[in-house]
Chain A
Amino acid sequence: MIKLPQPAWFDALLLKKHQGDSIRLKHDTIYVSPSKSGLGFLGIAVLNFILGINYQNNLILAVSYLMFVMLLMCLIYAFSNFNGLIIEVAAIKDDFADKRPSVTFKIENQKQRYDIQIEHIDTKEKSILKRIKNNEFLEIFLPVKRGKHKLGRFKILTHYPFGLVTIWSYLISEKHIYAYPTKIETELPKDSFIISEKGEKALDDHALAEDFNELKSYREGMSIHRISWRHFAKNKELLVKDYQSPDKSVSFGFDFEKVSGTKEDKLSQLSFLIVQAEIEQQSYALKLPNRLITLNQGNSHKKKCLEALSEA
């Protein structure tokens, strides 16, 4: 489509009509125009008209009129293909920036429709349903940078039938999506403080080192920090120190200042540490320059920490 400069009042009007997490497509929220191919089609109709007039050839003239009528009919067909749909933001999946967070739309529908496309305007990411008959879900992956993003504008469009017209509408969502920092593998910082269950005393890494119950063989996904390198040196066997006892459960405090690198690197490393701690079912706290998340564990805690990292 041709991008026209949009005046402020137009933006305001759009916002008023299309803001929200769901939209019902009807006559006052649907916009129509010929597509690029449609403009070509129109050009050829005009060309046929000129030929028909100048050769005084009624048949070529009829073809030209047929093309004009066809284009108008396409607008109606496309409108009817669109009208009555309800598009709703059904789920927002936050994820690490490199794994592509996504939005899922629910499309409420009771009849046969074709070529329903949803495009995220900022990222130009697009998903297409070639044909639908009932309610349908449509997921769009958003390749956004680390951070907290407003979902913003989505363009819902169709070219059906024949691709000669574009019929579209907008959905402007105020909801947010988080792109967590991409994980970068890192060692647990030596001087990162480890707090006992009561949170009183800071121990250092070494104190803990010998304090494990048993050795298990290494499986993929386990933290490499828990590998007993002494055993490896002796037997060439990868064994993992298992700290099982709830009394002796360890807690980590991850501090923005204690990891090295640029800001993004630091965030990425923290992101990795948090995920690892969660896998190992350990409690952890997170300290960022402007924020402190106290000791806890579990999925919602992890989400909270990762969101904090995204926003940092």
Chain B
Amino acid sequence: MKLNQISCSLIYLLLAWIMADDLGFVIVSYITGLFIAYELNRVIYKKTITDSIINGCALAGIALLMGFVGIKNSVAFFVSMMLLASILKIYQAKTDRQTLQVFVLNFFTIPCLFIFSQTFFSALLVFLLIGSNLALMLIYQYEFSPEEAVKNAFSKLAITIPVSVMLVLFIPKLPAFWQLPGPNSAKTGLSENVDPFEISKLSESNELVFRAIFPKERNVEGPFYWRALIHDEFDGTRWNMSSLQSVSANYRASDNIHSYTIIAEPSHLKWLYALDKMTTEQDLVTTNVFGLPYRKRPVSSAFEYKVYNVVDTQDISINRWQYRQNIQLPNDLNPQAKALAEQFDNKTNDTAEFIALFRNYILEHGFKYTLNPPVSQSSNKIDEFLFNNKAGFCGHYASTVAMMMRSVGIPARLVSGYLGGELNTENNYYSIYQYDAHAWVEYYVPNQGWLELDPTAWVSPERLNGSLSQHSQLSKELKSNIGMTLMGLSDVALVNWLRLQLEVFDYQWTRWVLNFDDQKQGDFLKNIFGEKAKMLSGIAVIIGLSLLFALVYWVLQRNSHQPAPLPVKFLRELQVNAVGEFDSTKTPGQIILLIQARYPKLKTELNAFLYEFEKVRYGNKRELTELKKHYLALTKQLKNNKRD
């Protein structure tokens, strides 16, 4: 009883702590607290835990859940409740039935981890936990020793793993038939509203955002500006997401060949990534009026889409409403910046000149790029940046340029997304991490349309190519912001090598395990079975399974039959030859006597055989050859005698 409770509750604790980011610290602490209280009581106070105490704990837990997780966050709520209920149930369980129920329920509780995390390590952990759960079932029901149980359980589990992998490969996939709520993960990343001036330290995360796979034959060159969100509403400090962001539009693919594939990692936002205006055949993805992809709901598990370039049907003119939206500006803020913009405007004839002038200004006045900008208290944040601090990250520069353009009537908007990516040369794909997040400007020129401008590149041109991790000057600053991770330690060659190996492994894992969707399965099955793939694969599964079970059964049965030793076989053969049938109830001596009675002539040979037989059976195993000689001689003579 003790072992079950401790091991089961440790399983729940482990799960809770791994999912702590998603479930919330309060619930995880509560579960930990329950465990500690129970163990303390068991070891020191030794009071009986009544049902009313358990019920009280459950009620308190539900109250905490309501308060700190909330029903709205339904997946986290549900998983927390499962963990809470399981731990209380195992503490309450008195009968064998109840305990066994908890063990069976664990087969649901443990894989819940996959809702939040689908890395290889999560899979490994779930495998280990399920194996331990099986071992516990053996210990509990049949009094196995822990060692024996672990061996037994994992050997049985190990056989089922390849089979279930084959099933995933070959059983035709069903489409999702219900919409289930996705997990609301609290991950860092892009935000829908950009306010660079609120942030004193850009807390960078080395979490993977997406991967972009380019066809091998295509040689592509950066810089890569992965667009994700358009912000066209400015309130003086903050850029809000455009109201058109989730308005879908129809674009037509310009050719049949996709230019690259994106594997998006789970995210709390539904906005996806593309270089240019795009379209895709993936059903889950829609394109909005900016030519940007998005999903109907947040992405709860990794998925991929192929990107096709589109025929740009956008008018090179914009209508009055759009124009007004893109020069909108609060009147009374940042007077100095406005004056400066006015000054530039008066000196120049077109937008290109305006930009060049501005670029010179930035370069001449010693502006710096930093991930740790000073915080400004003033309400005129852009003035403060432009004339006092002169240091900031992409958000500051983009925000300032866009605001100044707007003040002189040039339509401008902020784009947020990612810049660059880490190239894996072996597989020709780019990994884009959260720390590659970037913001830049798009401005409108009549007869040309919307153009891209990245003012950050003026102060930090190295940033354009490659990932921030490869940026020599800034990588130190970045690493100190990331903290103690493999990324943070990438100066050590071995660590960096390890990090890259893990990255490649994770890429393959995501590509082939997590993203094995019905389309990929269809291609895979078509390769093997040809046209009638689905039906044939169904049949193959059935035949394969039956063969496998037959094999397992045969192996198990074979072990149960101990083969008779060779001398015994000789004796049996002799008896069958001489008497006609084998009688297992007689001793060797009796058998020899029986044969002797039938063939009195063979008395000496028979006795010699018996002598050798006993010698081999009870002592020297090496004299088997002698026995064999006697046996062969005897069978020969038996035959001869029969003929007589």
Contacts and interface: CB of A to CB of B under 8 A. Distances in A.
A58 B514 contact: yes
Nearest to A110: B562
Nearest to B180: A54
B353 to A, nearest CB: 52
Nearest to A57: B301
Interface stretch (B159-167, B311-319, B373-381, B444-452): B159-167
Interface stretch (A75-83, A134-142, A277-285): A75-83
- By CB atoms of chain A within 10 A, which of B165, B517, B559, B560 has the most? B560
B178 interface: yes
Interface in B455-476: none
B161 A66 contact: yes
Contacts of B100: 37, 163
Contacts of A114: 142
A181 to B, nearest CB: 37
Interface residues of A, number: 46
Given A47-B108, A76-B556, A79-B553, A54 B114 contact: no
Contacts of B163: 65-66, 69
A20 to B, nearest CB: 20
B134 A62 contact: no
B513 to A, nearest CB: 6
A59 B114 contact: yes
Contact of B134 (A37, A83, A115, A162): A162
Interface in A111-125: 111, 114-115
Interface string B149-191: 0001000110111011101100101111111101000000000
Interface residues of B, number: 57
B300 interface: yes
B348 interface: no
B481 to A, nearest CB: 32
Contacts of B180: 51, 54-55
B296 to A, nearest CB: 14
Contact of A70 (B143, B160, B303, B552): B160
A70 B559 CA distance: 21
What does DSSP make chain B's interface, helix, strand, loop or mixed?
helix
Contact of B108 (A48, A56, A163): A48
Interface in A142-181: 159-164
B105 interface: yes
B125 to A, nearest CB: 11
A73 B156 contact: yes
Contacts of A45: 107
A80 B560 contact: yes
A58 B513 contact: yes
Given A47-B108, A48-B108, A162-B134, A77 B160 contact: no
A131 interface: yes
A184 interface: no
17 contacts: A37-B100, A40-B104, A44-B104, A45-B107, A48-B108, A54-B176, A58-B516, A59-B126, A60-B115, A63-B107, A66-B157, A66-B160, A66-B163, A69-B164, A70-B157, A83-B560, A161-B152
Ranked nearest first, the 7 interchain pairs of A and B with the lowest CB-CB distance are A65-B164, A80-B556, A66-B164, A65-B167, A59-B114, A63-B111, A69-B160
